[in-house]
Amino acid sequence: MKRFFVCFFCIIFSVIVWVNDGHTQNENLQPMDTPPSQMPSANPPIFQDDFPLFPDEYESVDTSYQPPAQQDYQLSGSFETRLGLRTQSAIDEDEFSIGEARLQMIYQHKVEGLTLNCKLDFVLDPVLDKYPIKIKEGTGVMDLRELNLSIIPTDFIDIIVGRQRLSWGTGDVLFINNLFPKDWQALYIGRDESYFDAPTDAIKMGFYSLFANLDIVYVPWFDSDRIPTGERLSYYNRVIGERVGKQHIMDLNKPDDLFEDTEWAARLYNTISDFELALYTYNGYWKSPGGLEPVTWKGIYPKLNVYGLSVQGPIAQGVACFEMGLYESRNDKAGNNPYINNSQLRMLFGYRFDMPGQMQLSTQYYIEIMRDHKKYQETLALVYPEEIPDDEGRHVITVRLTRQMIDPNVYMSFLVYYCPTDTDMYVRPTLQYIFNENITFIGGANLFVGNEDHTQWGQYERNSNLYTGLQYRF
């Protein structure tokens, strides 16, 4: 029945869109994630040479030219269907990795110094087949992506209050100081990468000057990453010691007291000689489960402090970046509690450059080093000898190749993550074909490879999938 609804819905949507819009193409289109407000204008720009040289000729031009009235609100949206199938037999999961239809409405209203932003998704998801609305988790028939008020009280201060998507740092799907919630499940099942940054309810304040800029973020209610828990994607259960699915939904104990389980983040940054320098700090919790309760075996989110820095700027023919962060595990500073993550040092080196044929290549090297690793091994062997200990260092190498084809409406991307420490890999190829200014075809895959069931991407090997979709913008 689920397969029937998904296929029927995709076929009906495709027929309606094809009949309404035909096969017309637009050669000057931008990628699908470009907001409608940034699309090229149909009116050519007016240059100084378009005006006559003599003053007596200006009068007719001034009286005939009337600038278009600017609206103080904008309303747009999109309708999208996506369908994905697993490439291997699932572990207690549906054969479909994704099968949903989304109607997204975007509304923006501007008044002097104030801007109201709202982005709301209406979702039909027969694969998960759960429709009670859970705003914080982003599940149900409605998914509130944004609802915030932007305030500009002065020229050097801006404030955003409400649900918003936040991001900073230099990494490409690798994060050190970017400790805002991420939706890993959305990425792994084939949703658009714009869904990877999960929304958070926060107050963001920006202060700007000639010497430095400061961003401060306050989250009154802890927002965790959205990770595979067995409902849609199988995962490795450390307690059972094998990969499991719907029959063993991950049991999590999240901090959820409003105004008590809070998060603070700050960034101080400036650009000096084309190089952007930034300092970061964070006070909150591990974003993904960072430990286990010894009696109940529930996943927990221990307290965490992070102190970091980043540098990014042009080198040779490309752009290089370096980022590092010191993770202080506040509930296990000595490193002798095997049930809680030890403190860590994380570093990231990256470089991207343009290549012939409208291609861009970017690569990253990431390393995370566990502090007090010997203490961790000794205590783990005493209290939980069956557990496989984590390595002292974990290395990840990433490569992303993007290409704009000869046809400007075709866009391809190939993303590879390889971890030599765990000997596993994650590959994400994507394709976009823009039929016209309204219709875009999407295709891609999420492929996981690993030798061990317990590693980062090896545990998701049976979740590998191929997906396709169609988006209609209005």
For 164-214, the pLDDT digits (tens) are 999 999 999 999 999 999 999 999 999 999 999 999 999 999 999 999 999
> Could you tell me which residue, 36 or 405, shows the higher pLDDT?
405
For residues 332 and 341, the answer to whether their CB atoms sit within 8 Å is yes
| Cα 260 to Cα 258: distance, rounded to the nearest angstrom | 5
Residue listed under structure tokens 């866009």:
411
| Cα 353 to Cα 363: distance, rounded to the nearest angstrom | 9
**236-240, 278-282, 315-319: the lowest-pLDDT one:** 236-240
| Cα 415 to Cα 360: distance, rounded to the nearest angstrom | 12
pLDDT tens for each residue of 335-345: 989 899 999 99
- Which 8-state DSSP code applies to residue 246? G
As given in the structure block, the two tokens for residue 142 are 């409605």
Amino acid in position 140: G
In the predicted model, is pLDDT for residue 438 greater than 80?
yes
Residue listed under structure tokens 């990453």:
225
Query: With pLDDT > 70 as the criterion, what percentage of the chain qualifies?
Result: 85
What average pLDDT does the chain have?
Answer: 87
pLDDT band at 2 (very low <50, low <70, confident <90, very high): very low
Domain residue spans in the chain? Answer: 2-32+71-473
pLDDT of residue 24: 39
How many CB atoms are closer than 10 A to CB 465? 23
Q: How many CA atoms lie within 13 Å of 309's alpha carbon, on the beta-carbon side?
A: 3
In the predicted model, is pLDDT for residue 40 greater than 70?
no
As given in the structure block, the two tokens for residue 111 are 């008044």
| Cα 213 to Cα 158: distance, rounded to the nearest angstrom | 12
C-alpha to C-alpha distances, 153 to 70, 150, 159, 211, 270, nearest whole angstrom = 22, 10, 8, 20, 22
Paired strand residues for 111: 114
Q: Are strands 299-300 and 252-253 parallel, antiparallel or unpaired?
A: parallel
For residues 465 and 190, the answer to whether their CB atoms sit within 8 Å is yes
| Cα 339 to Cα 381: distance, rounded to the nearest angstrom | 12
In the predicted model, is pLDDT for residue 17 greater than 80?
no
> Rounded mean pLDDT of 293-316?
95
Q: Please list, in sequence order, all residues whose beta carbon lies within 8 angstroms of the beta carbon of residue 91, skipping any fewer than 6 positions away.
A: 234, 243, 244, 245, 462
The CATH architecture assigned to 2-32+71-473 reads Beta Barrel (2.40)
Buried b (16+ CB within 10 A) or exposed e, 351-371: bbbeeeeeeebbbbebebbbb
- Which 8-state DSSP code applies to residue 341? P
pLDDT of residue 81: 97
